[in-house]
Structure 1
Amino acid sequence: MRGVLGGRWRRVASQIGRSVAVWGVSTVTMLVLAGILPDFQLQSADGDSATTIAVTAAFGAGAFGLLSALVWPVLVRLLLLVPALVLGLLVFFLNGALLLVALRLNPAERGAVDPETAVVVAAAMSAVASATGAALAVRDDDAYRRRLYRLSARRRRPLPGPVSPGTVFVQLDGVGHDVLTGAMAKGLMPTAARWLGDGPPGAPGAEPTHRLTPWRTDWSSQTGASQLGILHGSTFDVPAFRWYEKDHQEVVVSNRPTSAAELQRRAVERTGDGGLLTFDGASRGNLFSGGADEQALVLSIATRRRSRENRSRAGYFAYFSDPANAVRTALSFVAEVCREIGQSTRARTSKVRPRVARGGLYPFVRAFATVVERDVVVAAVMGDMLAGRTAVYADLVAYDEVAHHSGPMSRDAEKVLARLDRALALIEKVAEHAPRPYRIVVLSDHGQSPGETFRARYGLTLADLVRAGCGLPVPRRAGRTRSGAEARAAVRAALRRPVEEEPGQRRPDRRSEPIVLASGNLGLVSFPDVHHRMSKEEIDARHPALLPTLANHPGIGFLLVRSERHGGVVLGAYGAEIPVDELDADPGPLAAFGPGAADAVRRTHSFPHTADIMVNSFHDPADGEVLAFEEQIGSHGGLGGAQAKPFLLSPIVLSDPVDDGEALVGAEHVHRVLRRWLRETDGPQVPIEDEPSERAA
């Protein structure tokens, strides 16, 4: 009993000592800033003694620290309805306002600062206080653990005495298998390399703790399909990232909250199961919930009314309630915006090819994905581990966002990989302080394939080419391209009449015009006035030049259409027409897309909402390049190259994902593997240590 009380007193004394040290450093920081900044004063107009100025600084630093601890969480809670991007920008101004209030609280009425200068002073003091507190807690495991508890900003749940190991699934969005191995070989991801036993000889952890397994996506190699399959066990009827549904007369977009909610509902209805995380799970930063009872930053619940069961925005409060974290993230946000502007300017002045426009709001979107989303999601995962949650699934989207605009193998993307590896190292460190052992599984949902855009190479978009092939008006610049001219010539030959509109000629009804959507290098063409999936014969009768124009275009690899005669056919250049049931014997245009392409195409052909014409771009097997129908030089969504080869990095204490010689194919297969691993953790029971003092923290 005496030992327990002694330990508690030592922790209290240690905490008081750290608080006094942080207060002292903050006071010195305030004095230094007052000496540097002309608009920041800590003395009266008549001048004061050094002792009086020091007392004023100490009072101001102490009041600022107390307000940050007491008032800041309330402010953040009130601002949860503010978009996260705006909240990140408000951090500076809110912090500056707290400093103004702290100086006004001085009974001696000394200390004054302009509002603009207050923002700078408050940011500097918060950063210094956070760094000091972290440095003092480095060698104190209890303090380190308490600091992480405060970071999570959630109450710990009571846990039973014996518990099995927990599992953390970290999804590195868009990181392909080859990109991961290349980054480890370059030393960019030392944590992942150490797990695979590639660390320095004789160093701790040199023996492998994980295994690396590649897997193959469906035709729709994008987060919407893959994550739905991984978390909910079904990718059925998800033909692309976005597609048109004729029966509902609307476009479904995977990252639209209403669409994500509907896709999750359909998957649950099809499988009859809530998802991978239904038992004591947490979903962080995902498109879908996986059936978790703890959800933060989950898109499929973003449109619901907030409640105790639906706390999608709570992840922001859990992180931004600590003003030091908020300031650090806000500073990193600004730095990332500046970094992106500098990198895009360098690429433009150096005339790097391929290249896409990176202006407008993109620098802020990139900074949100690479800084705010990463920090908030990692903090939420840390809180889940410290709370002893059984299963956690989190998505880090930083690499995917940067690789789209800078390229999958670019230096910009490699720097993001290095920062993601540090996030993995932090999660691994937190596992050492968690109340139960954790198995960390890292995986990706797809890769990315490089290549210039379809528009950059040919001067027109896929939509322009489809309209030209239908004999519809196209923009003048598109009509002047070689592809546009050839399409219009094909229409004239097929219809035996000019395409150009003549005076008084009636334009076609807009309801009959095709809807052309793009998902990376996968294009979808739908005719909304026809309420069923059109057949090749119907398309030829309406637009006799369209399918030949698309199939023979050098930027297009193959088409998939329904056939009244064969059920479904794959079309390629020079009149190639292979029934889907004969693709194994004669892959035809699919030969360049590697093994599994025929199965992926056949499966998509069976979906109710497959488009009238499915268009996959050209793919060069020699360099892995594809041509994106979107403005992306790193793309995914179709077949071709590294986009269809993600990875699964799993602890060797878990069973092998697949038997020897077997391939891991499809997100549904990955779901079954992850479910098996969760069942395996119900094995040996590990006693848990109850720490009331930590619960209080």
Structure 2
Amino acid sequence: MRVLTVWAVSTLTMLVLAGILPDFRLQSGDGASITQAGLAAAWGAGAFGLLSALVWPLLVRALLLVPALVLGLLVFFLNGSLLLMALSLVPSGQGRAAPETAVVVAAAMSAVASATSTALAVRDDEAYRRRLYRLAARRRRQRRAAAPGREPPPGLVFLQLDGVGYEVLREAAGNGTMPTAASWLETGHRVMPWRTDWSSQTGASQLGILHGTTFDVPAFRWYEKDTGEVMVCNRPTSAAELQRRAVARTGDAGLLAVDGASRGNLFSGGADQLALVLSVSARRGRANRSRAGYFAYFSDPANAVRTALSFTAEVGREIGQSVRARLRGDRPRVSRGGLYPLIRAFATVVERDVVVAAVIGDMLAGRAAVYADLVAYDEVAHHSGPRGRDTDRVLARLDRSLALVARVAEHAPRAYRIVLLSDHGQSPGETFLGRYGLTVKDLVRAGCGLPVSRRAGGTPSGAEARAAVLAALHRPVEEGEEAHPRPGRTDPVVLASGNLAVISFPDVPGRATREWIERAHPALLPTLANHPGIGFLLVDGHVLGPGGACAPLSDPAAAQELLAAYGPGAAAAVARTDAFPHVPDIMVNSAYDPATGQVHAFEEQIGSHGGLGGEQGHAFLMWPADLPGPEPGLVGAEAVHRVLRGWLREADGPQVPVGPGGRAEAEPAMPPKDPRPRPAPGGMFPSAGVPVQDESR
């Protein structure tokens, strides 16, 4: 009945479109009765549906090596080709359509068919449950055949909300913005903060979480003198090299090496199942499986139509929000023009849809461990600030994705525990350029006695979404002239990572000593240390502050006293970075105001992360209470890796209750201020047979 209903609606849609579009008709030139037109529409709609079901998956699989976003665009043209083929199968030969019109008709029919199927599935809950139970039962039979007499242990799904700090999560759960997260806390999950390393950014944190080490990752961008290259965590070649170094250091493939899946991450974690993973996106050929997740999503053309509509709506939403911010005179504010609306839409729509679809497929396949990164909040918060209406709406949509994953988990062929975590937070504040009228590079050049450009320029955003877009297009991520410094260059290389900046002198072999810097550029260190927008410097094992303050890291108490404003553990984090082989000659951390929690980003971001100061260093970890609670005072991504690996090892063992005796007393449940339940919206990924939000509606 569902198939017949969808067929009837598709037939009616084709008739309406034939009456509206001048280049699309279902009748011959001398006219035909409405019955003949209806029969032609029924034939065309049926043939189009059959071709979509049979031919479309083969076409998409053949095009897997095409760049991901190109594949998304090709969907519409291939869909139009299928419609033209379907019209040619109409017995009377009456179906005609111009090629460009066929694309529009095919998109409309796919969207209508998907919406109709979704509405019927939502209304028929029992049929939906039966379909999921059949799929789950088939998976269970396969696993029982592989391991007779043994039920699989519970799997773990790790969902990373990129950039969502601990306090932001508490507020969103408490005020009703994230009702799903709030309900988890009410019914058994526990949450606690964890403190990042000095480099509070996804590259370092996710490398530590997935591969167990953050060693020798001093910032988001840094210059390596031995190779003459700039390492950028969101550049595919750099990500691949960082992953290789981590595996060599730990001797372990990663957290997800056993029956794992990595979705939307910078690194693979050793997983075999990959989608939108940056460290392997630069590879070519059939061995590259990083875009395999696109097949599961684009194998149904309705998904491409739905995502395109949501993408367009998100671009319009961003333009409207940006215009309103200008009219209100919001401060601080950064430019949100150019390609940013498209990048934001990619992060909040395309990346989310593909990653969530892949996670759903992983659970229905019964995989043991899944780690997925959702970058939507981080991208929007960089340009709109960590708190506000813009980010609240993003958090609400992410919460609906969590509800969807939880709903599917109830029907998976094995039990699943869902762990929610973040890699860092974000600190607000006016940019260094906006506050002082010059970039940190200008300040360094002035301190070195070098000419300063009259035209101040911003540093490209370090957000993961920009790199994901370029990787999806097979385009390299470059950083302007700093990406490949000229041989024999004597000017300092200055790179920004949020509110952290690094300075290297390419012509000095090894790490430059403090004495050399003071002799070669006597004004540089005083110029930097005494600037009101800079908090402290790391130079050759010493922490320098304003007014000539200096503390050697060999004296932890003195160093911590100088860094007291940045919180406990600041000196230890700086000392750890100081021991890295590729630590830059000078590291610069922006000023931080503990009263307001604000920093000054050296990039054009009013919500930033990358260094010390404020909520950027306070990530969170939320886990089901039947898992062993972490030790209190969790510090560093490597410590989080050990906790997650312990949960994977103990998944089928006796559970340790959370409570006293060395275990963390986690934060209590946080009831939302608005106790009214919010129903999760419907939608459907037809290829997976599971619901998904339709943001275009």
What residue in structure 2 maps to residue 63 of structure 1? Answer: 47
The amino acid that maps onto 1:88 is G
Contact 1:551–1:571 (CA<8 Å) still a contact in 2?
yes
Q: Which residue of 1 aligns with 2:177?
A: 188
Report Cα offsets for 1:95-135 as digits up to 9, x if no partner: 23322222222121223333333333222211121122223
The match for 1:288 is: 267
CA distance, structure 1, for counterparts of residue 55 and residue 597 of structure 2: 54
The counterpart of 1:570, out of the listed 508, 526, 543, is: 543
**Contact 1:164–1:684 (8 Å) recurs in 2:** no
Secondary structure, counterpart of 2:261 in structure 1 = strand
Q: Which residue of 2 aligns with 1:211?
A: 190
Confirm or deny that 1:169 pairs with 2:143: no
How many pairs does the alignment contain?
A: 624
Q: In the TM superposition, what are the counterparts of 1:173-322 in structure 2 within 5 Å?
A: 173-197=162-186, 208-307=187-286, 310-322=288-300
Deviation at 1:434, TM superposition (A): 0.5
Contact 1:85 1:368 in 2 (8 A): no
Tell me the residue number matched to 1:666: 636
- What letter matches 2:645 in structure 1? R
Counterpart-to-counterpart distance in 1, 2:455 and 2:374: 39
1:148–1:383: 8 Å Cα contact kept in structure 2? Answer: no
With over 3 angstroms needed to count, the CA separation of the structure-2 counterparts of 1:469 and 1:231, relative to structure 1, is same
Q: Which amino acid aligns with 2:231?
A: V
CA contact (8 A) 2:177 2:395 kept: yes
Point out the more displaced range, 438-447 or 359-368.
359-368
Kept in 1, the 8 Å contact 2:65–2:285? The answer is no
Structure 1 residue 622 corresponds to structure 2 residue 600: no
Give, in angstroms, the shift of residue 83 of structure 1. 2.5
* Within-5 A mapping of 1:134-533: 134-138=118-122, 139-140=124-125, 143=128, 146=131, 158=143, 159-161=146-148, 162-197=151-186, 208-307=187-286, 310-476=288-454, 511-533=489-511
Letter in 2 for 1:362: Y
1:676 aligns with 2:646: yes
Name the Cα RMSD after superposition: 2.6
Q: SS in structure 2 opposite 1:196? A: helix
- SS at 1:476 equivalent: coil
The answer to whether residue 94 in structure 2 is matched with residue 110 in structure 1 is yes
Give 1:526 deviation, angstroms: 0.2
Does structure 2 retain, via aligned residues, the 8 Å contact 1:446–1:643?
yes
* Structure 1 segment 72-91 matched on structure 2, within 5 A: 72-91=56-75
TM-score (norm 2): 0.85
Aligned with 2:192: secondary structure? Answer: strand
Moved more, 69-78 or 293-302: 69-78
Q: Is the 8 A contact 1:149 1:386 kept in 2?
A: no
Matched, 1:18 2:7: no
Partner of 1:499: none
Q: Assess, with a 3 A threshold, how the Cα gap between structure 1 residues 50 and 284 changes in structure 2: closer, same or farther.
A: same
Given that 2:552 and 2:559 are in contact with CA atoms closer than 8 Å, whether structure 1 keeps it comes out as no
Q: What is the distance in 2 between the residues matched to 1:425 and 1:404? A: 25
Q: CA deviation at 1:21?
A: 1.7
1:437-492 deviations in whole A, cap 9, x for unaligned? 0000010000111111111111111111000100001113569xxxxxxxxxxxxx
Letter in 1 for 2:29: A
Select which of 609, 613, 627 maps to 2:582: 609
Q: Deviations over 1:510-537 (max 9, x none)?
A: 7111000000000000000111111111
| 2:132 and 2:689 in contact (8 A); partners too | no
Secondary structure at 2:542 match in 1: strand
- In the aligned structure 2, how far is the partner of 1:642 from the partner of 1:157? 46
SS state of the match for residue 230, structure 2? strand
Q: Gaps spanning 5+ residues in structure 1: where?
A: 1-16, 198-207, 480-507, 563-567, 686-693
Provide the secondary structure at the position in 1 that maps to 2:557.
Answer: coil
SS at match of 2:351: helix
In the aligned structure 1, how far is the partner of 2:72 from the partner of 2:688?
A: 29
For residues 530 and 213 of structure 2, the distance between their equivalents in structure 1, rounded to whole angstroms, comes to: 34
Residue 52 of structure 1 pairs with residue 36 of structure 2 = yes
Mean Cα deviation higher: 297-306 or 162-171:
297-306
Q: TM-score, normalization: structure 1? A: 0.85
- CA distance 1:73–1:655, change in 2 (3 Å): same
Q: Which has the larger radius of gyration?
A: 1
SS of 1:464 mapped into structure 2: helix
CA deviation after TM superposition for structure 1 residue 223, in Å: 0.4
Match runs of 1:623-638 below 5 Å: 623-638=596-611
Map of 2:694 onto structure 1: none
- Indicate if the aligned counterparts of 1:168 and 1:391 stay in contact, CA closer than 8 A: yes
Answer yes or no: is 1:542 the counterpart of 2:512: no
Whole-angstrom CA distance in 1 between matches of 2:319 and 2:60: 29
